[in-house]
Amino acid sequence: MFKLRLGLIVFLGILQFSTLVLARENPRLTPVVKAIEKTAPGVVNVYTQKIEERSFNPFDSFLGNPFWEELWPEFKQRVQTQSLGSGFIVDAKNRYVLTNAHVIEGGTSIKVRLLDGREFEADLVGSDPDFDLAILRLKGKGEIPQVTLGNSEDILIGETVIAIGNPYGFGHTVTTGVVSALKRSIRTQEGIFTDFIQTDAPINPGNSGGPLINILGEVIGINTAIYKNAQGIGFAIPINKAKRAIQELLQRGYVQPVWLGVSGQNLTPQIAAYLGLKEVRGLLLTEVYPQKPADLAGLKPGDVLLQINSYLIEDKDQYIDLLRNFTSLEKVKLKVWRKGKIFSLSTSLAPFSQKEALELLAKRWGFGVRKSGDKSLVVEQVFPGSPASRLGLQPGDVLLKISGVRIKTQEELALLFSRLRLKNTVLLLVLRGDRAYYVRLRI
């Protein structure tokens, strides 16, 4: 009996060793295949249910005639739709999934499917449109795999990369390519997004939120966007940038805005010429707030901020857009023009807290607000001589929208102000009594 057991153990050992040898010698097990086998179990398909309101008119054949159009206005219909995307498990213990914010935006319910066929409902933990990142938590129980996060700081142009995702709802799909370029910027209607990895690995609708991995099976990016007017141009968020955002998404549900602690204005040809600048480009600092990063770094009113890291500053709008790509306490390099010379310096970025935002709003726009009920902000005070006072804003007015964005809480107001704080004009929708009206606040 002992000899039989010993023989069985030896046989199994030889079989396992032979399998390993054959695996090593199998030319089909390329580094790409091994990377996919390592990472794919931790990649998920994301399905989001949304309720959309669509307009339709049952009398389309009569349209074109003002009489019929007035008689039969458009009807509104609520329609349930489904959006597709991808994601990957970054923390199996806490069941966290990382994906793109636009994948789950407006979703009423979220379902996640793993490679092994299991499906889970998911809750939204945090989301930030500026970083286009979102964290989900899978419901239910059971062990789940997770991916290995790599380092996007040492990516090589030309190195092989692999995209895994859910294009057009086809489930786990793999495409390969190379890193085409680094630190790409994309301008959209929402602003400027920076630091993208550019790849020619095919990325299609549904790939959004899925991982871009190297041949070691390490996630180095999050597939995010495709360039509609070309083939072979896709973009991914570097994983190191995502790592900086994940902690804030888990802590507060969004990434807190940052600032240098300055106010500024655009250059005019006359001001640029007076300062000795050859180009009308940059942010002219008009105020530097005490004990903020700019002040601590030695910046002064009258300096012209020309560059943040490798990104040129065209004007104050672009300056604000660029800051939306950074997290608090992150180091940046600045190029500054002062008295005919350019100098460089490094400084950190500070959180632009809700308290600071509302205090600066009161100073710059000239009013304070309070919460009223569940769905509105009411003007509490208007400061004499301020833009709000000159406009005729009054205590008791209800703020419905600012620059087309609906606001219901002080937190939402502070976040919106962080983007609009250097604007010279903002459009307000104000409710006074039972009548709403649009007014322009000129700062």
* Identified catalytic residue from 83, 127, 128, 132: 132
**Is residue 102 among the annotated active site residues?**
yes
The residue written with tokens 């959004």 in the block is: 208
Tokens of 88: 């990957």
Q: Which residues pair with 186 in a beta bridge?
A: 193
Q: Write the DSSP string, 330-399.
A: -EEEEEEEETTEEEEEEEE-EE--HHHHHHHHHHHT-EEEEEETTTEEEEEEE-TTSHHHHHT--TTPEE
Do 312 and 337 meet the contact criterion of CB atoms below 8 Å apart? no
Tokens of 136: 């989900």
Do 280 and 272 meet the contact criterion of CB atoms below 8 Å apart? yes
Do 81 and 50 meet the contact criterion of CB atoms below 8 Å apart? yes
| Distance in angstroms (rounded) separating the CA atoms of residues 167 and 180 | 21
* Identified catalytic residue from 86, 152, 208, 386: 208
Buried b (16+ CB within 10 A) or exposed e, 123-145: ebbbbbbbbbbbbbbbeeeeebb
* Identified catalytic residue from 83, 86, 102, 418: 102
Q: Which residues pair with 175 in a beta bridge?
A: 163
**Is residue 303 among the annotated active site residues?**
no
| Distance in angstroms (rounded) separating the CA atoms of residues 128 and 350 | 18
State the distance between the two ends of the chain, measured CA to CA, in whole angstroms: 94
**CA neighbor of 305 nearest in space, from 276, 262, 348, 361:** 262
Catalytic residues: 102, 132, 208
